[in-house]
Amino acid sequence: MDSIELIESFSEFKELKNIDKQTMQRVLEDVFRSMLKKKFNTDEHIDVIVNIDKGDVQIFLNKEIVDDGEVEDPNTEIAYSDAIKIEPDFEIGEEVTEEFKFEDFGRRNILSLRQNLIGRILDLEKDHLYKIYKERIGEIVTGEVYQVWKKEIMVLDDEGNELILPKSEQIPSDYFKKGEAVRAVVAKVDMRNSSPVIILSRTAPEFLERLFELEVPEVFDGLITIKKIVREPGGRAKVAVESYDDRVDPVGACVGMKGSRIHGIVRELRNENIDVINYTTNPQLYITRALSPAKISSIEIDEETKTAKVFLKPDQVSLAIGKGGHNIKLAGKLTGYELDVYREGEVDIEDVDLEEFADEIDGWILDELKAIGCDTAKSVLEMSIEDLVKRTDLEEETIKEVLKILRAEFE
């Protein structure tokens, strides 16, 4: 392998990875200087000239002319009798410049030089990849599933770079096969063992926000602003939007004609229910909209504690709480208030969602109660033991134990 082959191999890399000429030139010079320093113990008397365009490296040794017999270091000094063979006009004390031939390195040094070059190339590649993806945090990327593991999947981008989508950042109903296309947002970029690790996410609110930008031109253009997004990935999401143009209906624009715009987003998120809400600075109105589709009778807000008592008709309570408590939980996160639901006319007693008892009552028992329309503690307590036995598959002893736990909450 000669210098031209080394330069050419580096030029190929440069074309692939978009490394600029100045960086290439600096790396090549550093690698050659490092090798020369090992060989001569110094590089102060050496000039390395790299010509990227021609694919050429020239090395020149500058030696001082000394009297015959006084050469102490042949690497930096040359005898007068040898100097005048090169140029008869040379005098003692002047410098002679000799070109160092590449083949004088020796085969072992050339292999070492090549390994150093490859090492520096890999470092440049890692640094380049880290910087590119660091700037892309919050952006959507599309890649191909390359490997599927239990805790994560590996995705390759268009340039073959490896990206990681952990199980914790996947929607619960996500299922990917090798070769399948996947869209996700760049969540973070870490350096582990000097290598960049790019983490993707499909559960981050930013992913939903980018999807709105792709599907809704008014959001992309800035006519509609997404004020806040809260999600239970794969279950439900609430998006508060605001328009700076009175002629543009932000909710209508985001949903589209017959839901045309939002359907694509819902499909991408594995049928996640998306509530698009008109943002307002009026907290009462904001909470009312956030608890949709439930119809609110009245609200009492305590600004100091950031809590709100929401009063509803009995048939609206389960709608406000939602399946698994998702609706009220997301509404609280969206508005910034801790929401307490009350049945109208029962101001003194707070009702409690059955999900709150998940640590005391088995999930399958709670599911049995929900199946007959009992979503809250009080709705269960209002029924007799006989009715509960008839309408569920639960044993009488189990029902008595459940009622005991629920009563204890109110006592």
pLDDT band at residue 304 under the 50/70/90 scheme: very high
> Which pLDDT belongs to residue 350?
67
Positive or negative, the CA dihedral 21, 23, 28, 29 is positive
Q: Averaged over 206-229, what is the pLDDT?
A: 95
Query: Which residue, 194, 232, 209, is CA-closest to 140?
Result: 209
User: To 10 degrees, what angle do helices 283-290 and 326-335 make?
Assistant: 150
399 is written with which tokens?
Answer: 């029902």
Q: Which domains does the chain have, with CATH numbers?
A: 3-132 (3.30.1480), 136-203 (2.40.50.140)
Kindly report each contact of residues 288-296 with a partner whose C-beta sits within 8 Å and lies 24 or more positions away, as own/partner.
290/238, 290/240, 290/330, 290/331, 290/334, 290/335, 291/320, 291/327, 291/328, 291/331, 291/339, 293/319, 294/319, 294/320, 294/327, 295/319, 296/320
> Which pLDDT belongs to residue 31?
78
- Which residues 6+ apart lie within 8 Å of 102 measured at CB? 2, 3, 57, 59, 110
> Which pLDDT belongs to residue 268?
94
86 is written with which tokens?
Answer: 């090169």
Give me the phi and psi of 322, to 5 degrees please: 80, 165
- Which residues 6+ apart lie within 8 Å of 297 measured at CB? 311, 312, 313, 316, 344
pLDDT top residue among 28 and 20: 28
Q: Averaged over 381-406, what is the pLDDT?
A: 87
- Three-state SS for 307? strand
178 is written with which tokens?
Answer: 């090798």
> Which pLDDT belongs to residue 319?
87
Q: CA–CA separation, 98 vs 203, rounded Å?
A: 64
Which amino acid would we find at residue 298?
Answer: S
Strands lying side by side in the sheet with 298-302: 298-302, 307-312, 338-343
> Which pLDDT belongs to residue 347?
42
> Which pLDDT belongs to residue 1?
43
Q: What is the DSSP letter of 396?
A: H
Q: Please, are residues 241 and 279 in contact by the beta-carbon 8 Å criterion? A: yes
pLDDT top residue among 84 and 203: 203
> Which pLDDT belongs to residue 348?
43
> Which pLDDT belongs to residue 53?
65
Per-residue pLDDT tens over the stretch 325-361: 889 999 999 999 999 988 875 544 567 888 888 888 8
Q: Angle CA(26)–CA(27)–CA(31) in degrees, nearest 5?
A: 120
Q: CA–CA separation, 12 vs 215, rounded Å?
A: 39
Per-residue pLDDT tens over the stretch 305-328: 999 999 988 888 888 888 878 899
**CB-side exposure of 8: number of CA atoms within 13 Å?**
5
Per-residue pLDDT tens over the stretch 61-86: 788 788 887 877 777 778 888 788 78
